[in-house]
Amino acid sequence: MTPTPSMSRPRRVLLTGAAGHIGTTLREHLRGHYDLLRLSDLPAALAGLPPAAAGEELYPADLTDPAALRGATQGMDAVIHLGGIPDEDTYPVIRAVNMDGTANLLEAARLCGVRRVAFASSIHAVGYAPREPIGMDAPVRPDSFYGVSKVFGEALGRMYVDRYGLEFVAVRICSFLERPREARNLATWLSPRDAAQLFRRAIDAPGVTYLTVAGISANTRRWMNPDGWDVLGYEPEDNAEEYAAEVEHLISPLQSNAARFQGGIFTEPDYRGRAGDGS
């Protein structure tokens, strides 16, 4: 099914990764904006969530299961795709969940006639970029298998746009946190309410075919240009600068990769993420 170009806001929205950190925040902020918010995640993760409120639906689906994703995308106008491994891991784990899982999701979206997908991409798609402002057209420089999976997701989205007429917005989330925790976050912070506004606009803004945007608040010290924010109408309300006095002394050792590149600790050759800490 080929989607028709977007004229009106979506009414039925699928949120993958709904039980996660960002998913929980989006659930709170998006409630009531759409006729239906279908909250999807692994069955065990969904089991820990509060029950569905009016206008919500809980829908267990493993991203590695194409049939389950076809069920999840059935009848949806838009998808916010947050589900996946949010850290470095072994290549087979990253491939299965972040790469194959995103491929399964996009194929299900195509088959079910979904119009728009907003994808949780990452700063780690450009993690080896130096710490100076870059545009969204800067060459990709992934810093990990995780970062490669986000580059893959963006490329796959581009292909579904050009080949099948899907609409796709990649949000390169930098650091989603309640508040900045270290000096790096003065550039990378994305506050919860700004994240909610950004993802809502990523699925609501009319006339978008393919777009990549920085997922950050209005940080004075940002390393990513606000390219495309105007297209979406995104106007961040928070600025990490308010926390500068608290965190600017919390820095990585100055000779380290972590202090030189945008990706921080992910750019250290021995960084293993979840695979390294046994989680």
Ligand X SMILES: NC(=O)c1ccc[n+]([C@@H]2O[C@H](COP(=O)([O-])OP(=O)(O)OC[C@H]3O[C@@H](n4cnc5c(N)ncnc54)[C@H](O)[C@@H]3O)[C@@H](O)[C@H]2O)c1
Among 12, 29, 33, 42, binds ligand X (CB under 6 A): 42
The pattern of x and - marking residues 63 through 82 that bind ligand X according to CB under 6 A reads: xx-----------------x
Helix then strand then coil, % of the chain, to nearest 5: 40, 15, 45
Q: Near ligand X by CB under 6 A, which window of 12-20, 29-37, 106-114, 130-138? A: 12-20
Number of Cβ atoms within 10 Å of the Cβ of 275? 18
**DSSP readout, 68-89?**
HHHHHHTT-SEEEE--S--S--
Q: Kindly give, in sequence order, each residue whose CB lies less than 8 Å from that of residue 275, ignoring residues fewer than 6 positions away.
A: 88, 89, 90, 93
Could you give the strand order of the β-sheet that contains 36-41, starting from the edge strand earlier in sequence?
Answer: 56-60, 36-41, 12-16, 78-81, 116-122, 167-173, 210-215
Q: Is 148 in the site for ligand X (CB under 6 A)?
A: no
Min. distance of Cβ 266 from ligand X in angstroms? 10
CB 171 within 8 Å of CB 195: no
The pattern of x and - marking residues 82 through 101 that bind ligand X according to CB under 6 A reads: xxx-x----------x---x
- C-beta closer to ligand X: residue 114 or 126: 126
Q: Is 153 in the site for ligand X (CB under 6 A)?
A: no
List, in sequence order, every residue forming a beta bridge with 12; answer none if it has no partner: 36
Read off the tokens for 174.
């930098």
Q: Is 47 in the site for ligand X (CB under 6 A)?
A: no
Min. distance of Cβ 61 from ligand X in angstroms? 6
Looking at beta carbons, which residue is closest to ligand X? Answer: 20
Q: Is 23 in the site for ligand X (CB under 6 A)?
A: yes
Q: Which residues are catalytic?
A: 146
Q: Return residues touching ligand X (CB under 6 A).
A: 17, 19-23, 41-42, 45, 62-64, 82-84, 86, 97, 101, 120, 122, 173, 175-176
